């Protein structure tokens, strides 16, 4: 087809106009695409910062609840925690985080300044990102029973707290918690102010219902030094046997001999710290008693209260072990057994960080104690045993250690308020 010179000129002009129009459209269209990408990125970055302060508020609240924690340390911990969650954003966002406590809970706020369009002219000074989160404790019940199972990741490990057959835990006014599992079987029961397990709670014997999947509670005494190096080295003495109707008073100190109380014998522990390098066994109708005492068991050494023996112990009132009554070293993974129904008084804290407490007595245990606290790797109740946990913390001369009982630092769990 032949075109005239005017037609050709018109087509060239049309193509030129189209190019100009396309160029004019491309500029704002490109800006829209860039702005959209930047706004999507900004939204994502704000979400990242919000998630960081959410996690930091929860972490800070838990850190504050740890035994010996302070507001200042928890604040700094939470601020660093938040920053570490979004450290990869630092090259393009200037961020700062602030943590504090107030009447509503533990608060973490974050501010970020991000570059904007046209040299921070739109909006003026750049984009300002502000985020905030507040965490609060889920309950304020005193911590009175804590299981610290070692093999938390093993599905087949029946670790934590178990109440079997007709046994029970009665801790009406306080928190019973397992960092592993919790189990009631048969007519086994657990009654407490609050019941929770970090893994599973299986069975129908919980009152109120147990909370599964709860936050783990840190060992409140994990920094405490227990073992006496070389204390059990050297020659051991002949076994101490208290039987018949004999009565013996044993001064505080290091005991390098096995001790057995049987018949109607009575062993009285003198006030102070008793460090056992061999087992202590009370059986028959024997009696073990002591006021202002703590019993510390070295590696492989055990305590057994069996048959119809009577146990009446009150913990230390002063010194490094104030508030404790029975303790095992961290390398002790033996079973501590209470199968006597005449264990009327265990006033203080029983701390077995890697040992198992077995209670299979045919009756109440610790019922006459003003207060008791049990922290052990595993806690097993069987047969007709009934562990009674009282909470009259102000009614005795034995102080409650920081981190348990009414000394709140127990990490009972947290949630976000906003």
pLDDT band at 119 (very low <50, low <70, confident <90, very high): low
- Tell me, what's the pLDDT at 213? 76
Same domain, 292 and 151: yes
Of 137, 164, 179, which marks where a domain is finished?
Answer: 137
Q: Which of 87-91, 133-137, 235-239, 309-313 has the least mean pLDDT?
A: 133-137
Torsion of CA 208, 194, 173, 365, to 10 degrees: 80
- Tell me, what's the pLDDT at 67? 37
With vertex at residue 105, the alpha carbon angle to CA 104 and CA 109, rounded to the nearest 5 degrees, is 100
pLDDT band at 12 (very low <50, low <70, confident <90, very high): low
Measuring CA to CA, which residue among 130, 108, 109 is closest to residue 60?
108
pLDDT average, residue stretch 370-397: 96
**pLDDT over threshold 90, residue 5:** no
Residues ≥6 apart with Cβ < 8 Å to 175? 139, 141, 142, 143, 144, 145, 192, 193, 194, 195, 196, 410, 412
- pLDDT tens digits for range 220-252: 999 999 999 999 998 888 999 999 999 999 999
Of 88, 111, 137, which marks where a domain is finished?
Answer: 137
In a domain, 376, yes or no: yes
pLDDT average, residue stretch 119-147: 78
**pLDDT over threshold 70, residue 157:** no
Measuring CA to CA, which residue among 366, 260, 239 is closest to residue 306?
260
In a domain, 276, yes or no: yes
User: Can you give the CATH number for the domain in which 102 is found?
Assistant: 3.10.450
Give the integer Cα–Cα distance in Å for 265 and 258. 16
In a domain, 328, yes or no: yes
Cis amide leading into 47 (omega within 30) = no
Hey, what long-range contacts does 406-410 have (CB within 8 A, 24 or more apart)?
A: 406/142, 407/67, 408/65, 408/140, 408/142, 409/64, 409/65, 409/66, 409/67, 409/68, 409/69, 409/220, 410/65, 410/67, 410/142, 410/143, 410/175, 410/217, 410/220
Same domain, 266 and 377: yes
Give the integer Cα–Cα distance in Å for 80 and 60. 10
- Three-class SS string for 178-189? ECCEEEECCCCE
Same domain, 167 and 316: yes
- Tell me, what's the pLDDT at 202? 95
Look up the domain containing 93 and give its range: 11-137
Give the integer Cα–Cα distance in Å for 274 and 296. 6
- Tell me, what's the pLDDT at 21? 57
Same domain, 283 and 207: yes
In a domain, 41, yes or no: yes
Same domain, 133 and 147: no
Higher pLDDT: 132 or 118? It is 132
**pLDDT over threshold 50, residue 372:** yes
**Maximum average pLDDT range among 27-36, 69-78, 209-218:** 209-218
pLDDT band at 66 (very low <50, low <70, confident <90, very high): very low
- Residue 284 three-state SS: coil
Residues ≥6 apart with Cβ < 8 Å to 35? 117
Residues ≥6 apart with Cβ < 8 Å to 87? none
In a domain, 55, yes or no: yes
**pLDDT over threshold 70, residue 137:** no
**pLDDT over threshold 70, residue 6:** no
Q: How many domains does the chain have?
A: 2
Q: Sign of the CA dihedral 363, 369, 370, 375?
A: negative
Helix (H) or strand (E) holding 49: helix 5-65
Q: Biggest alpha carbon distance in the chain?
A: 136
- pLDDT tens digits for range 84-115: 999 999 988 999 999 988 755 789 999 999 88
For every residue of 290-338, DSSP letters joined together read ESSEEEEE-TT--EEE-TT-EEEEE-BSSSTTBTEEEEE-TT--PEEEE
Same domain, 197 and 331: yes
Higher pLDDT: 314 or 70? It is 314
pLDDT average, residue stretch 11-25: 57
- pLDDT tens digits for range 32-45: 655 666 778 888 99
N-to-C CA span, the chain: 75
**pLDDT over threshold 90, residue 1:** no
Give the integer Cα–Cα distance in Å for 164 and 183. 8
Summary mean pLDDT of the chain: 86
Same domain, 366 and 336: yes
**pLDDT over threshold 70, residue 354:** yes
Of 137, 162, 194, which marks where a domain is finished?
Answer: 137
- For 85, the token pair is 């969650």
- Tell me, what's the pLDDT at 75? 85
b/e map 67-77, b = 16+ CB within 10 Å: bebeeeebbeb
- Tell me, what's the pLDDT at 225? 96
In a domain, 418, yes or no: no
- pLDDT tens digits for range 168-200: 999 998 999 999 999 999 999 999 998 989 899
CA distances from 379 to 32, 70, 188, 214, 327 (A): 64, 30, 13, 18, 14
Same domain, 272 and 159: yes
Same domain, 156 and 106: no
Measuring CA to CA, which residue among 311, 318, 323 is closest to residue 349?
323
Cis amide leading into 372 (omega within 30) = no
Give the integer Cα–Cα distance in Å for 110 and 352. 42
Same domain, 31 and 179: no
Residues ≥6 apart with Cβ < 8 Å to 302? 279, 280, 334, 335, 336, 337
Give the integer Cα–Cα distance in Å for 313 and 303. 13
pLDDT average, residue stretch 162-166: 97
Report the length, in residues, of the chain: 418
Higher pLDDT: 192 or 14? It is 192
In a domain, 6, yes or no: no
Same domain, 166 and 19: no
Give the integer Cα–Cα distance in Å for 53 and 135. 10
In a domain, 1, yes or no: no
pLDDT average, residue stretch 2-17: 53
b/e map 22-48, b = 16+ CB within 10 Å: eeeeeeeeeeeeeeeeeeeebeebbeb
Same domain, 130 and 152: no
């Amino acid at each position: 087809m032949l075109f005239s010179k005017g037609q050709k000129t018109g087509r060239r002009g049309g193509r030129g106009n189209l190019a100009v129009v396309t160029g004019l459209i491309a500029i704002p269209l490109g800006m829209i695409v860039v702005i959209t990408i930047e706004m999507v990125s900004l939204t994502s970055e704000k979400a990242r910062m919000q998630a960081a302060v959410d996690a930091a508020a929860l972490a800070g609240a838990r850190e504050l609840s740890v035994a010996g924690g302070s507001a200042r340390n928890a604040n700094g911990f939470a601020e660093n925690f938040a920053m570490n969650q979004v450290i990869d954003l630092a090259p393009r966002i200037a961020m700062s985080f602030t943590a504090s406590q107030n009447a509503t809970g533990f608060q973490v706020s974050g501010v970020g300044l991000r570059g904007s369009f046209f040299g921070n002219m739109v909006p003026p000074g750049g984009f300002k990102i502000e985020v905030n989160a507040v965490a609060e404790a889920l309950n304020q019940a005193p911590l009175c029973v804590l299981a610290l199972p070692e093999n938390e990741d093993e599905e087949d490990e029946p670790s934590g707290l178990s109440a079997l057959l007709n046994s029970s835990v009665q801790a009406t006014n306080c928190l019973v918690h397992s960092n592993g599992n919790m189990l009631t079987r048969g007519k086994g029961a657990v009654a407490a102010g609050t019941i929770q397990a970090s893994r599973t709670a299986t069975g129908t014997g919980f009152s109120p219902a147990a909370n599964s999947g709860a936050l783990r509670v840190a060992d409140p005494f994990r920094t405490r030094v227990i073992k006496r190096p070389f204390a059990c080295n050297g020659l051991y003495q002949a076994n101490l046997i208290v039987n018949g109707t004999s009565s013996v008073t044993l001064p505080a100190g290091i005991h390098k001999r096995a001790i057995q109380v049987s018949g109607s014998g009575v062993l009285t522990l003198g006030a102070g710290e008793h460090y056992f390098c061999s087992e202590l066994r009370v059986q028959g109708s024997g009696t073990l008693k002591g006021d202002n005492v703590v019993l510390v068991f070295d590696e492989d050494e055990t305590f057994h209260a069996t048959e119809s023996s009577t146990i009446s112990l009150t913990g230390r009132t002063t010194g490094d072990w104030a508030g404790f009554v029975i303790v095992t070293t961290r390398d002790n993974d033996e079973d501590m057994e209470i199968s006597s129904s005449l264990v009327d008084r265990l006033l203080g804290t029983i701390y077995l960080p890697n040992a198992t407490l077995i209670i299979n007595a045919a009756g109440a245990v610790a019922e006459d104690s003003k207060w008791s606290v049990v922290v052990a790797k595993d806690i097993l109740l069987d047969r007709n045993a009934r562990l009674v946990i009282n909470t009259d913390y102000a009614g005795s001369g034995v102080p409650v250690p920081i981190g348990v009982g009414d000394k709140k630092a127990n990490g009972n769990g947290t949630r976000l308020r906003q």
